[in-house]
Homo-oligomer: A and B are copies of this chain.
Amino acid sequence: MASRPATVTVEAVRPRGRGAAVPLQKGAQTRALILEAALAQASRAGLEGLSIGTLADVIGMSKSGVFAHFGSREELQIAVVAEYHARFEQEVFFPALREPRGLPRLRALFERWVRQVSVELESGCIYISGAVEFDDRPGPVRDALVSMVKAWHAALAKAIGIARDEGHLAFDIDVEQILFELHGLILSLHHDDRFMRIPGALQRARNGFERVIASSITPLGQQAPQAVPAVRRKAR
């Protein structure tokens, strides 16, 4: 994941009632710095691997300095989830919205998702590791993760529904079924590439997408632009 400074997003997840003691400008910068380091640590070691002590060492702050910005480890974990989600939206969701409604947009969403996971194969995806870490640990961190994943699934379901409404996919498709299968391709990509180190998983995820779509595509859908996002991204 690119290490660019967090701006609006950081403010959006600022815990209420905290940070009033530090001057706003400097405080926001320090907070962004901590969050950046926390995101990197959580990507490698998981959200449960986050340690305020280690984090303080990495950025050269005292532990109490970190606690001045995030009142608890749990608060920091939730801020990391929110920050990760904001970046995921920036990289995957918003750019795909520029594509025409219907299959081109759905294809762009999937292609960007695949590319995002493949970028994260070096570090690890917080959504995927978080789902395993927190699957049976109730609490606010789990709630934050679930609500972010739900938001992403809802966005995908909406895109699949639009592809149907535009006449690119058959009118009687099962939107949730297609979503389930597309998500499976992403999980399989993450598993085979990151854990098993099997080559070719990226292409298999793409082939899988085409096969899922093939069973519901209409003649109109077949005429929709095919490979716009992939080509465009190669040229970057």
Contact A149 B181 (CB under 8 A): no
Q: How far is the CB of A84 from chain B (nearest CB, A)?
A: 16
Residues on B with beta carbons closer than 8 Å to the beta carbon of A176: 200, 204
User: Is B188 within 8 A of A208, CB to CB?
Assistant: no
Interface-located stretch among A13-21, A53-61, A163-171, A191-199? A191-199
* A146 interface hit (Cβ, 8 Å): yes
Q: A128's contact among B46, B132, B215, by CB below 8 Å, is which? A: B132
Distance, CA A131 to CA B136, complexed state (A): 17
Chain B residues closer than 8 Å to A131, beta-carbon distance:
191, 195-196
A85 to chain B, nearest CB (A): 15
**Contact assessment for A196 and B128 in the assembled complex, using a CB-CB cutoff below 8 Å:** no
Q: A185-B181, A200-B176 are in contact. Are A195 and B135 (CB under 8 A)?
A: yes
Q: Please judge, given known A-B contacts A195-B146, A211-B212, A215-B214, whether A44 and B136 are in contact too, CB under 8 Å.
A: yes
**Is the C-beta of A158 less than 8 angstroms from some C-beta in chain B?**
no
Q: Is the CB of A180 within 8 A of B201?
A: yes
Contacts of A101 on B, CB cut-off 8 Å?
Answer: none
Interface size on A, as a range, is 35 or more
A219 to B: closest C-beta gap in Å: 18
Q: How far is the CA of A209 from the CA of B196 in the complex (A)?
A: 22
Picked from B132, B134, B146, B180, the residue with its CB within 8 Å of the CB of A204 is B180
**Do A180 and B192 have beta carbons less than 8 Å apart?**
yes
Cα-based distance from A133 to B131 in the complex (angstroms):
12
For residue A129, CB closer than 8 A to chain B, the reply is yes
In the complex, whether A150 has a CB less than 8 A from a CB of chain B is yes
Chain B residues closer than 8 Å to A146, beta-carbon distance: 195-196
A 110-130 binary contact with B (CB < 8 Å = 1; else 0): 000000000000001000110
Mark A residues whose CB is within 8 Å of B.
44, 46, 124, 128-129, 131-136, 146, 149-150, 174, 176-177, 180-181, 183-188, 191-192, 194-196, 200-201, 204-205, 207-208, 211-212, 214-215
